Amino acid sequence: MKVLCADDDPNARTVYQGLFKVLPDDDITVVNSGEEAIAAVAENHYDVVISDLQMEEMSGIDVLRFVKKTSLDTEVLIVTGFGSIDTAVEAMRLGARDFIEKPINIRLLIEKMENLRDYQKRVLEIEEYRQAKEAVEEQAGRETHGLERRLQQMQTAINETLLLIEQDDLSVSSDTIDQIVAKLTPFKL
């Protein structure tokens, strides 16, 4: 998972840098400000952005808005240190997936990241299922169209056969039988 962590607090950045050891398979980038976060998101795709809510110049809400404007599938986790739960809830209304309070509990942060990983995996599975379903429906539509055309041809052959029999006044000649066989042979199972 590609993760961007944005915080102007050196202690929080130390926690994020500790994630390198705990989550070695993840690609984790740590930046010092909202401006740096926006620049990073503009240049790269991230699966998750973890952003402090209160930063100098550009807030976590600004980062959230930019992320959701440029990359709808990127999940955002807001970090708040001011007990501003109302603002964190507002951030969730704007598209943040979750929030965590400072001081950051590393175990809780890892748990929330794992939840985000599971959520993104489920979203991907649902998208793959939707695409497979569409492909099956498209194939079924093509096959149905082919079957309808074949049934129409069979109905025409049957109608022509009945017309031949009716024209022959119920005494079916060998020429008529040959014509009937010729018309119905393509539909032999």
Percent of the chain with pLDDT over 70: 92
pLDDT of 171 above 70: no
Residue 83: predicted pLDDT: 59
pLDDT in tens, 48-76: 999 999 898 899 999 999 999 999 899 99
The lowest-confidence range among 37-41, 156-160, 169-173, 175-179 is 169-173
Contact 52, 9 (CB under 8 A): yes
Paired residues of 50 in beta bridges: 5, 77
Cβ 29 vs Cβ 4: under 8 Å: yes
Detail the DSSP E strand segments found in the chain: 2-6, 27-31, 48-52, 75-80, 98-101
**CA 76/CA 95 separation, integer angstroms:** 7
The SS3 call for residue 63 is helix
For residues 31 and 76, the answer to whether their CB atoms sit within 8 Å is: no
Nearest to 15 by CA among 83, 106, 76: 106
| β-pair partners for 101 | 80
CA distances from 133 to 11, 123, 139 (A): 48, 15, 10
Question: What is the pTM (predicted TM-score) of this model?
Answer: 0.73
Q: What are phi and psi of 9, to 5 degrees?
A: -90, 120
Backbone Cα Rg of the chain:
33
